[in-house]
Amino acid sequence: MGAKAEEFIGLVKAAGWSQAEAARRLHITPGAISQIFSGRTQPHPGTLNLLKYILATEKPEVLKAFERARVGGLAPWESQLLEALRGLRPAHREALLVAFQEMIRAMQARQRRRGD
């Protein structure tokens, strides 16, 4: 999948839009969105710019977080997870961190046993 498609998909997901909602807002067909999401095609530069413009006017915090994550080398899902965690109280964040660490250790052990 190309970098522009990954950026497009990341922005749509960060905005919380479905593919149908993105198609409606960008005035393109749902099929065009589907082809971008499947990696069969790249978004037109004008479409990507329109998406960024809409987000800049309607959800500037989403666009800023996405751009900040890209500069920091984070994948879109990592950025989304961090933003969600930052919205929690510190005690809740710490509890989730402990749970995540335990789940990761368990999954790593399982992978070692299976030879994944």
Distance CA 37, CA 108 (A): 30
User: What dotted CATH number matches 3-114?
Assistant: 1.10.260
pLDDT single digits (tens) 49-102: 999 999 999 999 888 888 877 766 677 777 778 888 888 999 999 999 999 999
Does the pTM surpass 0.85? The reply is no
Percent of the chain with pLDDT strictly greater than 70: 95
Sequence letter at residue 54:
I
Query: Does residue 80 contact residue 13 with C-beta atoms inside 8 Å?
Result: yes
Rg (CA), the chain: 17
- Report the residue count for the chain: 116
Query: Does residue 80 contact residue 14 with C-beta atoms inside 8 Å?
Result: yes
For residue 39, CA distances in Å to 1, 35, 92 come to 5, 6, 37
Three-class secondary structure of residue 59 per DSSP: coil
